[in-house]
Structure 1
Amino acid sequence: MLSSHVIADADFVIAPVARHVFGSFVEHLGRCVYGGIYEPGHATADANGFRGDVLALIRELGPTIVRYPGGNFVSGYDWEDGVGPKDQRPVRLDLAWGSTETNQFGTNEFMDWCKAADIEPMFAVNLGTRGAAEAQNFLEYCNHPGGTHYADLRRSHGYEAPHDIKFWCLGNEMDGPWQTGAKTAEEYGRIATETAKMMRWTSDGLQLAACGSSARTMPSFGAWEYEVLDHCFEQVDYISLHQYFENHEHEVDRFLTAIDDLESFITEVTAIADAVAAKRRSPKRIMLSLDEWNVWYRARSGEQLRGVGWPEAPPLLEEIYNMEDALVIGGALLTMINHADRVKAACLAQLVNVIAPIMTETGGPAWRQTIFHPFAQASRHARGNALRLKVDTGTFTAGNQQAAPLLVTAVVHDPDTGAATLFALNRSLDEEMTLTAELRNMGTRRLASADELHHRDLEATNTKDAPDRVTPVAHPKAALTDGVLTATLKPLSWNVFTTIPA
């Protein structure tokens, strides 16, 4: 049997885990909005058309902030189309996803939904087909109290108080040739700088994120981040990272090393941002926003990727997740937690139906996909300080990783409540692992909960008819004695142990 040893000391802190790390994403894409969060006439819908069954699952999932309205969609979106009387809103072609957009759901509906879900909004502005002036107008509409054209337009639409939206993304994937209005690094860096400047002049206390390259595999990666930040370093707070994990080879050990690739991605972008700071001899540190991330590779071609004949809300990107996908999602969350000093925001893309933890049937039920569970557990329990750990574990070789640790783990300690949670992913394909974890400088403790997510069939999925096939259960082999947690971890399992003061 494998064995791993962890030492976690409350005095050795990486940084507080930012609550924005547990964000998600709603884009006008497929059935994410229409038939997802918004379905007037559904048996559970409220007066606003928001599905109550979906809202209940979202509250359980626990996202803290949600990015909107895109994504690729935003680079061709005129925000004015989605405000005002619904019977006067124009119907548009959505070039990003080959669909027809009715604009029956827009800015104010999204803000009403955020209030219903108790979620903070993260908005994106169109820097593809539009520019700094339109972004500033949009911000004025959302955040200015009144007495100006756009603020009074909002008030005339029935929203007297400003929305006071603080987190804004300056465009989306602007180096991607698939992007409406794609730009070079210089073009984007200049427009991002001017847009940020005008937005800060309009509203106080904003958090602004510049676009990084669309993926670590892009030819532009690295050089793009440096040049963009060289332009807008003083005006922005974040640089974005997008990461989708793929398993085309259907090799689970190789797939699990996607976690290690994310680790490299984070350290590389951190180094680039700090190089721009060093050039300026600046103490400022640009933070990282992983504002699109998930497993996505099955629903990525043909009619799953674009509508045919400009349909309304077609079933696009409806990835069905299995047990091994849940393991990768859990491991990615631990990687972000262990980089809590720089990863300050992240958005699981997306929230409902479209590469999502929640699936619905239009007119029917909603259910949890396998990836729902590690996200919900991390959002619920990873509150407080991420601790710097000493970990002794075995390694394995797969993909381009020569010594990937078999145990992926993180410990989060909340100094206010005293709770400490250890997350553990056993990446061994076929061996159980004995885990011993010393919890130091945390006082006398007891084990409050212990959960295990495991299924012998890595292809097991949750469906409408079997929504709980893959779900956490009470851990059968865990104990806490004199501040030492011991447990036996099944191969290819995700485990969560929460301890509290005795």
Structure 2
Amino acid sequence: MDSAKLTLDPAFEVGPVGKRLFGSFVEHMGRCVYTGVFEPGHPRAGEDGLRRDVIELTREMGVTTVRYPGGNFVSNYEWEDGVGPASERPTRLDLAWKQIETNAFGLDEFMTWLREVDAEPVMAVNLGTRGVKEARDLVEYANFPGGTRWSDLRIKHGVPEPYGIRVWCLGNEMDGPWQIGGKTADEYGRLAYEAAKAMRRVDPGLELIACGSSNMRIPTFGSWEATVLEHCYDQVDYISAHSYYDPVGGGRADFLASAVEMEQQIEGVIATADHVAAKLGSGKRLKVSFDEWNVWSQSLFGGENSLDWEHAPRIIEEEYDVAGAAVVGSLLITLLNHADRVGIACQAQLANVIAPIRTEPGGPAWRQTIFHPFALTAAHARGRILRVQATAPAMPTERYGEVPVLATAATLDDDRLAVFAVNRGDRPLPVEIDLRGLPRATDLSHVTVADDDTGARNTESEPRRVEPRAADGAKIDRDRLTAVLPPVSFNLLRARLS
């Protein structure tokens, strides 16, 4: 087989497109915050120190949800350090990334920035070095109207109305040996239960995320989720999943097929959560919060001990190529195809650190290649996600065996059809889409993120080397849509239905 065939039918769907699938992540790590989203004195920064060029790119990217302040950072963080007058805030050692943290940017600045980008917060609490009381106090500061110690302090800091933060992470990667204040599954499960209970006493409307395993390859994967959820199942709404996909840690085919691993992880976490529900006799069904995912050459990182004590150092500033954009596109497709059980997803991180947006201090901001599949999917995935029936050629991989060269998802919104497709292969892929179950399709467009050089990157000197471009040759003949997908590419096919 040298071509792919898809069948679409509006009677078969995954579910609605969830707004929170298009999330990002801002952690106090490297230059994500300082000289990333926040740089007082920059030509494009306002009096609040927020870089307007980064705000504009974040809005263009379509980010709907932002997780903050970590990540590993949160497990040694004292949230009180990041509120109130900046001149009175202490400088601390961040043990996660061996950085000097000035706390010039904290909760109040983050919420101001979030209003500018028009996104929803996902706030993490420290369950590493701190616990129930500090988590409860933070909810009171952020969400209680007034008349109490912490809510009145917020008002004193110039924020009269509650922030109303709905979604909260109960710690971060607590099974990771690198985590400050790490826990066993039993220890964390009990702590998560008690923290959730206290937080809900302050604000009953919270949505809470329990920490799942740090990644699929850690020895605790599966058993960790099962034990943790037996303790706190009834108090939480989501279980988290994290994973990074390494372009240099294995073969090229393995990297291009990374979404297979994401799919396996999602299905494994869901199976474990549903097992616990059955064991407890609960009719409640948890969703997955895949709140850290991206492409990262993690095998090249020397670990925290390789770092020196600095403020906002240049660390893990990945430069992405076209192949990385194709993989990111396939990961987004996987999230769409599991949106019935994945309720939140956050690409890590937003600026500079393994990020779609790069900046220079005092200089420009630009879009990396991985910016484009995210922006196109966030802009055009609307309405209902259709369950695509596909046949496609296979490619051999060492890690996953035979994998289809095509990854695809489709959405239907009133009179608009959008098909998202990644060609993982090294040759052009003809695609035929059977539209018999749909109304007549017209006004077809095909946009692709591709390049003759799959190693092409966007840089400060050449920021527009790789951009979405119109592709030729796509056509509709009655109830059949045909197109050719370039090698190693992300593609968006759109049509109007009448």
* TM-score class, shorter: over 0.9
Structure 1 residue aligned with 2:418: 421
Q: CA deviation at 1:250?
A: 5.9
Among all aligned residue pairs of Structure 1 and Structure 2, give the percentage whose two residues are the same amino acid.
50
Calculate the TM-score normalised by the size of structure 2.
0.97
The superposition leaves residues 2-49 of structure 1 with CA deviations (integer Å, 9 ceiling, x where unpaired) of: 211101111211111211111000001111011000111110111211
Whole-Å Cα distance in 2 between the matches of residues 304 and 53 of structure 1? 30
Distance 1:168 1:99, change over 3 A: same
Structure 2 residue aligned with 1:482: 478
Structure 2 residue aligned with 1:313: 312
Structure 1 residue aligned with 2:139: 139
Q: What SS does the corresponding residue of 1:461 show, helix, strand or coil?
A: coil
Whole-Å Cα distance in 1 between the matches of residues 408 and 211 of structure 2? 30
Whole-Å Cα distance in 1 between the matches of residues 171 and 249 of structure 2? 33
How many pairs are equivalent? 498
Whole-Å Cα distance in 1 between the matches of residues 428 and 35 of structure 2? 42
CA contact (8 A) 2:445 2:474 kept: no
Whole-Å Cα distance in 1 between the matches of residues 85 and 316 of structure 2? 30
Aligned partner letter, 1:403: E
Whole-Å Cα distance in 2 between the matches of residues 440 and 42 of structure 1? 55
Q: What SS does the corresponding residue of 1:241 show, helix, strand or coil?
A: strand
Q: CA deviation at 1:444?
A: 2.3
Q: What SS does the corresponding residue of 1:374 show, helix, strand or coil?
A: helix
Aligned partner letter, 1:101: E
Whole-Å Cα distance in 2 between the matches of residues 492 and 301 of structure 1? 26
Distance 1:306 1:56, change over 3 A: farther
Structure 2 residue aligned with 1:464: 460
Calculate the TM-score normalised by the size of structure 1.
0.97
Quick check: 1:363 aligned with 2:362? yes
Structure 2 residue aligned with 1:241: 241
Structure 1 residue aligned with 2:330: 331
Aligned partner letter, 2:224: W
The superposition leaves residues 378-429 of structure 1 with CA deviations (integer Å, 9 ceiling, x where unpaired) of: 1111112111121111212202222211111100111xx3211001111222
CA contact (8 A) 1:23 1:65 kept: yes
Q: What SS does the corresponding residue of 1:230 show, helix, strand or coil?
A: helix
Whole-Å Cα distance in 1 between the matches of residues 216 and 35 of structure 2? 33
Q: CA deviation at 1:301?
A: 2.5
Quick check: 1:117 aligned with 2:117? yes
Whole-Å Cα distance in 1 between the matches of residues 443 and 250 of structure 2? 37
Distance 1:299 1:32, change over 3 A: farther
**Larger CA deviation: 250-259 vs 114-123:** 250-259
CA contact (8 A) 2:448 2:492 kept: yes
Quick check: 1:60 aligned with 2:65? no
Distance 1:441 1:402, change over 3 A: same
Whole-Å Cα distance in 2 between the matches of residues 203 and 485 of structure 1? 51
CA contact (8 A) 1:17 1:340 kept: yes
The superposition leaves residues 55-82 of structure 1 with CA deviations (integer Å, 9 ceiling, x where unpaired) of: 1111111110000000000000000000
The superposition leaves residues 465-490 of structure 1 with CA deviations (integer Å, 9 ceiling, x where unpaired) of: 11111111101121123242210112
Distance 1:79 1:100, change over 3 A: same
Aligned partner letter, 2:406: L
Structure 2 residue aligned with 1:231: 231
Aligned partner letter, 1:500: R
Whole-Å Cα distance in 1 between the matches of residues 240 and 97 of structure 2? 22
The superposition leaves residues 289-310 of structure 1 with CA deviations (integer Å, 9 ceiling, x where unpaired) of: 11000011168524898641x2
Whole-Å Cα distance in 2 between the matches of residues 279 and 255 of structure 1? 37
Quick check: 1:389 aligned with 2:388? yes
Aligned partner letter, 1:232: C
The superposition leaves residues 443-463 of structure 1 with CA deviations (integer Å, 9 ceiling, x where unpaired) of: 222235320111122221110
Whole-Å Cα distance in 2 between the matches of residues 348 and 399 of structure 1? 26
Which sections of structure 2, spanning at least 5 residues, go unmatched?
none
Aligned partner letter, 1:325: G
Whole-Å Cα distance in 1 between the matches of residues 298 and 336 of structure 2? 27
Structure 2 residue aligned with 1:399: 398
Q: CA deviation at 1:155?
A: 0.3
Which sections of structure 1, spanning at least 5 residues, go unmatched?
none
Structure 2 residue aligned with 1:279: 279
